[in-house]
Each structure stands twice: as C-alpha cells, then as structure tokens.
Amino acid sequence: MFWVGGRWMASFDERKNYDITTRIHSMMCQFMKRKSSRSLQSCAGVSFGTKVCRNQASRLNLQAYSFNLILVPLSRRLLLQAAGIAAGSLVAPKLLSGRAKAAEAIAPTLNTSLDACTPPGDPIKALLERNMKFSKVWQALGDGVSPRERMALKVSMFEEGCQIDRLALAEGQRPWAALISCADARVAPEWIFSAGSGELFQVRVAGNSAFDDGIASLEYAVAVLEVPLILVLGHSGCGAVKAAMSTAPLTPLLEDLVKPIRSSLKSSDDLTQAIEGNARYAAGQLTKRSAVLKEAEASGKVLIKSAFFDIKSGEVSLLN
C-alpha cells in the first residue's frame, strides 16, 4: 500500500473537503434564522438530548449529530425532530443530500488554511520524520543542559513548523493522522510527533486499547474527517499492560480496562513483547469490530498500523 495523490492507493475521491459538521451547523442555523426573526444567537430551543445550534458553543453537539447523519442516516422525522423543525420543511432533504454537495459550500480558503500543516506525502513517513526531530531534542535534554539551552532545544523542534490559522480551526478540523495512544503522561502525541493543534486526531486510554467509544471516534475521523491513517501507539513501561500481566487485585473498572489487554497476551511474553502484542491486537480490533473502518481499509481510504514508542530514546518504531 502506498500514498498517491493524497490518498492510499489513490482511490479516495477528492480530499478537497471540509468539515461537514460545520456545513450542517451553518445550514441549520441559517434556516432557523430565516424561520425566526431572532438572531443567530437565539436560534436554539432545539432538543436532541441537549440543545443544538444555540451559538458557537453548540457546535460540538452538532458534530455528534452530523456523525449520525453520515454513518446511520436518520429518518426524516427524527431529523426534523432533532432540528426542531416542523415536518414539511425543505431542510431535511438538503441535509440528506450527501457530502459531495455539502463540500461545495465550504470556502476554499478555509480548506487551504486547515491543510496548512498537512504533509504532502505519505503520512506514516511524515510521522516518523517528525518523531526523529523530537527524539533528537529529547535525547539532548539532559541534566547538564541549562534552562536557556533547554528552551532553545524545545523551540528548535517547532521552528520550521507550520501553524494552522486559529480562525480556520474555529470553523473546522482536517487532521492528517489519527492515533490510539496511552493515557500515560509521557506519551502525548503532539509532543512525540512535533505537531500542533488541528493536526492529530487522538483517542487516549490507559493501555491504548480499542474500546467501543474509541472505535466510534475513529469511525468519525475516517468517515467524516477523511483521516487517511490510524496509528495504534504502545509505549515502553506501560503500566496498564503491567497491570494486565499481574495477578494483583484491581478495581472492577480497572478489571474491565485490562480485559482487552489480557486477550492479547501470550504466556511467554515479556513486558515489551506484551506491549507490542497489545498494540497489534488493538489495531486488529478496529476492523474486526467496525464495519466502517473495515470498508475504509479495504477500499484504501485508510491505513491502520501499530507502533512502539520508547520513552528513553524518544523513538517510535513501526510494528509489523
């Protein structure tokens, strides 16, 4: 599998695109605004579990709503209920008309801004190159380094970096890679891959397992945001994997957390082998448990890989 024209296998239709949630939010608010003499700030009162379309802060709710729209199309009635719009409105057919039409309405300048940090080539290669930059700085940050030198080293990690315009980020997101990584404080993807806001879509949980809500989040990343890569990142000294290997008693919730890790363990594993096996297992679970991700991988829309992060060296290596 290789990276061509912004997609794996070149089979993905134009990535020109957009954040559909922003588009839907805009359409709904514009409609409601027309329906009412009230301002956009008050185009609310819509019940869908929580209120939607109240103002900018409501966008998150709309994102969850539009996610349903993409993956599990809502009935017209439910859609109208969700929008607080009377049956007979023309809004529902517009909303259901598909991503292609929705994409047309996004300003090209917005897309350009959101893509400002997207690497032009293979995203895996880009992640590893960014990590190489990080690991060099990480290794240089020893005890003998003065605070001034330390600051200079940290700045050097980002000095050639880009910055996505904050106003564009306020309107949408177009991350170029997604990760499942551990909740461990030493394993922050933006740090490890020298990345800024809006670049990496992240699911984090102790032990980097593929849990239901995490998989659902990745379905959103792939189906809606068109992220072309999912990387499951295990790391050295992972406490969750240690707990899974131990017979020490855990709380009921922690028992649940380590269950998938235990499923990946082999009796002969040492800690590093167990961590690597767990990352591979979690990557395999994504397509096993999600039809959306399975189809996306089969059609070349997304590549799913696993990797190991060594905290001491700061280096990330891909797993087979």
> Of the ranges 16-24, 138-146, 176-184, 281-289, which one interacts with Zn ion (CB under 5 A)?
176-184
Q: Compute the C-alpha angle 170/300/197, nearest 5°.
A: 20
Query: Applying CB under 5 A, does 164 fall inside the site for Zn ion?
Result: no
Locate tokens 């050097």: which residue? 156
Return the sign of the alpha-carbon dihedral for residues 150, 156, 161, 164.
Answer: positive
Distance of alpha carbon 91 from alpha carbon 94, whole angstroms: 5
Q: How far is the CB of 244 from Zn ion (least distance, A)?
A: 11
> Of the ranges 194-202, 231-239, 252-260, 304-312, which one interacts with Zn ion (CB under 5 A)?
231-239
- Whichever of 231 and 238 has its CB closer to Zn ion, that residue is 238
- Whichever of 66 and 285 has its CB closer to Zn ion, that residue is 285
Q: How far is the CB of 162 from Zn ion (least distance, A)?
A: 29
Q: How far is the CB of 206 from Zn ion (least distance, A)?
A: 6
3-state secondary structure of 18: coil
Amino acid letter, residue 43: C
- Whichever of 115 and 184 has its CB closer to Zn ion, that residue is 184
Whether residue 218 contacts residue 230, with contact meaning beta carbons closer than 8 Å, is answered with yes
- Whichever of 64 and 206 has its CB closer to Zn ion, that residue is 206
Of residues 181, 183, 172, 265, the one with CA closest to residue 230: 181
Distance of alpha carbon 137 from alpha carbon 116, whole angstroms: 24
Burial 233-247 (b: 16+ CB within 10 A, else e): bbbbebebbbbbbee
Query: Applying CB under 5 A, does 261 fall inside the site for Zn ion?
Result: no
Q: How far is the CB of 180 from Zn ion (least distance, A)?
A: 11
What dihedral angle (degrees, nearest 10) is formed by the CA atoms of 172, 174, 179, 182? Answer: -30
Work out which of 179, 182, 292, 303 binds Zn ion, going by CB under 5 A.
Answer: 182
Work out which of 85, 178, 233, 238 binds Zn ion, going by CB under 5 A.
Answer: 238
Supply φ then ψ for residue 309, to 5 degrees. Answer: -105, 120
- Whichever of 228 and 234 has its CB closer to Zn ion, that residue is 234
Of residues 2, 21, 23, the one with CA closest to residue 11: 2
- Whichever of 51 and 262 has its CB closer to Zn ion, that residue is 262
- Whichever of 61 and 181 has its CB closer to Zn ion, that residue is 181
Query: Applying CB under 5 A, does 276 fall inside the site for Zn ion?
Result: no
> Of the ranges 73-81, 96-104, 146-154, 235-243, which one interacts with Zn ion (CB under 5 A)?
235-243
Q: What residues contact residue 55 under an 8 Å CB cut-off, 6+ apart?
A: 40, 41, 44
Query: Applying CB under 5 A, does 293 fall inside the site for Zn ion?
Result: no
> Of the ranges 60-68, 80-88, 106-114, 177-185, which one interacts with Zn ion (CB under 5 A)?
177-185
Distance of alpha carbon 253 from alpha carbon 275, whole angstroms: 20
Whether residue 307 contacts residue 236, with contact meaning beta carbons closer than 8 Å, is answered with no
> Of the ranges 153-161, 178-186, 209-217, 280-288, which one interacts with Zn ion (CB under 5 A)?
178-186
- Whichever of 106 and 275 has its CB closer to Zn ion, that residue is 275
Query: Applying CB under 5 A, does 180 fall inside the site for Zn ion?
Result: no
Query: Applying CB under 5 A, does 184 fall inside the site for Zn ion?
Result: yes
Q: Which residues bind Zn ion (CB under 5 A)?
A: 182, 184, 238, 240
